[in-house]
């Protein structure tokens, strides 16, 4: 089934550094979304990028989408300890009106 796969599975960085997470998917999409999950909590929507967009910004977040490579990246600039969480990409198929299918996530640890 359609599923995003995040890479790396785990990432550990120092506070202030940038964190980059990647997502690959298999078939054509309508849009791709990134979510964050703090330990023991539910997922929270971060940002959505549509298939006709190449880059999107929201605060310290920057998302890119390359539909030719079927990949997306999430960049968190100037990371903070509070950014420590798991990050998931989720895709909506081009046929639309389909539920989100999630990858297994990237566990980010930001060390103060």
* Residues found near another protein in the complex (CB under 8 A): 30-31, 33, 35, 41-45, 48, 50, 88, 90, 92, 96-105
Q: Which is nearer to another protein, 18 or 28 (CB)?
A: 28
Q: Is 6 exposed, middle or buried (0-12, 13-18, 19+ CB in 10 A)?
A: buried
Q: State the CB neighbour count (10 A cutoff) for residue 91.
A: 26
Phi, psi of 67 (to 5 degrees): -70, -25
DSSP state of 97: S
Q: Which is nearer to another protein, 59 or 99 (CB)?
A: 99
CB of 103 to another protein, least distance (A): 7
CB of 81 to another protein, least distance (A): 22
CB of 53 to another protein, least distance (A): 12
């Amino acid at each position: 089934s359609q599923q995003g796969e995040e890479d790396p599975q785990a990432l550990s960085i120092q506070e202030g550094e940038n964190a980059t997470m990647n997502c690959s998917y298999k078939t054509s999409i309508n849009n791709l979304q990134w979510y964050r999950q703090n330990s023991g909590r539910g997922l929270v929507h971060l940002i959505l990028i549509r298939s006709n967009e190449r880059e999107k910004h929201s605060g310290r977040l920057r998302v890119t989408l390359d539909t030719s490579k079927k990949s997306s990246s999430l960049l968190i600039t100037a990371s903070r300890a509070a950014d420590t969480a798991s990050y998931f990409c989720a895709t909506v198929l081009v046929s639309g009106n389909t539920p989100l299918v999630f990858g297994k996530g990237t566990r980010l640890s930001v060390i103060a």
